[in-house]
């Protein structure tokens, strides 16, 4: 039985390396996988899924106009699994398409991404994934203080910021995974004051 999975975590939690590990396991058994990543993520190279330690794989790209269901349906060979990196950049409609890949084409889909942005609000694709995924798993990482990191704090020149565009592509230079308590302390964010 095919399922839609959403594996989320803060930046630096190893989401992409987990995706590539899953892809390797399928390929090692002679099964084809299709990897998707967001076209907007050009940190390393468009059309590549790349970990922070340099392991990479080719990937199909998606943007807001990509009909993922149609692409998968028209593939010459049915893949054993679809893997989606940077799933937070999916649209709600694309998440619905992925449920059709699972329910109609009977192909499991595993999505990897961030749950919330630096303002602690759902990304467009993360909210419907949280609503519709058959299985949700958190990939954990830790804050400098030792607590579980849940917030992707945006940094500009090493200083935490709480305003700006919702999407800013970046890595360790632009974001730091922290716990909610440290986020509040470092950004001086206190609710109700």
Confidence at residue 193, expressed as pLDDT on a 0 to 100 scale: 45
Q: Which residues of the chain have pLDDT under 50?
A: 193
Quick check: is 185 in a domain? no
**pLDDT confidence of residue 172:** 55
3-state secondary structure of 187: helix
Residue 63 domain-assigned? yes
Q: What is the pLDDT of residue 44?
A: 65
Q: List residues with catalytic annotation.
A: 86
- The closest alpha carbon to 141, from 178, 191, 182, 99, belongs to 178
Taking the C-alpha atoms of residue 165 and residue 59, their distance in angstroms, rounded to an integer, is: 27
What distance separates the 2 farthest-apart alpha carbons in the chain?
A: 58
Q: Is residue 182 in some structural domain?
A: no
Q: How far apart are CA 136 and CA 156, in angstroms?
A: 31
pTM more than 0.85: yes
**What is the per-residue pLDDT for 47?**
77
pLDDT of residue 2: 92
Can you read off the two tokens belonging to residue 163?
Answer: 């305003």
Residue 17, domain CATH:
3.40.50.300
pLDDT of residue 7: 97
- The confidence score (pLDDT) of residue 20 equals 95
Strands 60-62 and 56-58, bridge-based pairing? unpaired
- The C-alpha atoms of residue 77 and residue 61 are separated, in whole angstroms, by 18
The domain tally of the chain equals: 1
């Amino acid at each position: 039985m095919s399922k839609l999975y959403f594996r989320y975590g803060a930046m630096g939690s190893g989401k992409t390396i987990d995706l590539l590990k899953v892809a390797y396991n399928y390929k090692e058994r002679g099964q084809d996988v299709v990897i998707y990543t967001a076209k907007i993520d050009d940190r390393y190279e468009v059309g590549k899924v790349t970990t922070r330690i340099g392991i990479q794989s080719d990937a199909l790209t998606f943007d807001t106009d990509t009909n993922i269901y149609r692409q998968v349906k028209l593939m010459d060979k049915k893949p054993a699994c679809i893997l989606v990196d940077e799933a937070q950049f999916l649209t709600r409609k694309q998440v619905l398409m992925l449920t059709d890949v699972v329910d109609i084409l009977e192909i499991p889909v595993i999505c990897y991404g961030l749950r919330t942005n630096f303002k602690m609000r759902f990304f467009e694709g993360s909210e419907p994934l949280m609503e519709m995924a058959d299985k949700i798993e958190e990939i954990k990482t830790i804050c400098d203080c030792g607590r579980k990191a849940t917030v992707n704090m945006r940094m500009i020149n090493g200083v935490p910021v709480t305003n700006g565009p919702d999407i800013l592509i970046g890595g360790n230079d632009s974001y730091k995974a922290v716990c909610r308590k440290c986020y509040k302390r470092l950004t001086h964010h206190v609710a109700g004051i």
